[in-house]
């Protein structure tokens, strides 16, 4: 058994995180807005079409049996391969699509003079004394791979900045 699981690494769709109330203990309102930009859906359809093409129309076909699972609300295009049926693939994405769970970029680190900057290059939250952020949320763009190593690096940088401040103070 093997799994082919295409992902978009440079999505144009951007979600939002908003405060729900002034109480810091209340959960925020998170709207990921997955595939809200039409280009992202088109790119995802093309990615999945390629996967189906590899399975159905290449030499891999003799090694793979395709047993499509009926998806409620999705119907196959009659008499054509799945990789040629955009409407079915779009339906699959809408019914079965999921995120890779490597979220990033909710409080961008950049120069303090940028209007979209939340964190400065020393990981300090703009306008709030003694508060730093040291996780994937400071990345202006998500990395093309797993976020674990960059997060470790960000944490190390944060620890060094805090240690340096204590020595200087």
Provide the annotated active-site residues.
102
At residue 39, the 3 state secondary structure works out as helix
73/69 Cα distance (integer angstroms): 12
Other CB atoms closer than 10 Å to residue 82's CB: what's the count? 19
Residue 136: CB partners within 8 Å, gap ≥ 6?
Answer: 102, 103, 104, 105, 142, 147, 150, 151, 154
Of the candidates 79, 83, 101, the residue with the CA atom closest to the CA atom of residue 45: 83
91/86 Cα distance (integer angstroms): 8
Contact yes or no for 46/7 (Cβ under 8 A):
no
User: SS in 3 state form for 25-65?
Assistant: CCCCEEECCCCCCHHHHHHHHHHHHHHHHHHHHCHHHHHCC
């Amino acid at each position: 058994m093997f799994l082919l699981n295409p992902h978009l690494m440079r999505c144009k769709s951007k979600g939002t995180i908003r405060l729900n109330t002034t109480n810091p203990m209340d959960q925020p309102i998170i709207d990921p807005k997955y595939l809200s930009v039409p280009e992202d859906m088109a790119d995802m359809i093309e990615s999945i079409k390629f996967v189906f093409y590899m399975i159905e129309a290449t030499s891999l076909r003799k090694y793979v049996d395709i047993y499509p699972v009926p998806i409620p609300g999705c119907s196959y295009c009659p008499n054509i391969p799945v990789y040629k049926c955009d409407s079915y693939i779009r339906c699959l994405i809408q019914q079965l699509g999921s995120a890779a769970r490597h979220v990033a970029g909710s409080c961008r680190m950049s120069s303090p003079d940028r209007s979209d900057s939340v964190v400065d290059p020393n990981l300090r939250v703009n306008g709030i004394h003694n508060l730093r952020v040291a996780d994937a949320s400071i990345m202006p763009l998500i990395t093309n791979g797993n976020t674990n190593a960059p997060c470790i690096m960000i944490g190390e940088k944060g620890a060094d900045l805090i240690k340096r401040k204590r020595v200087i103070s």
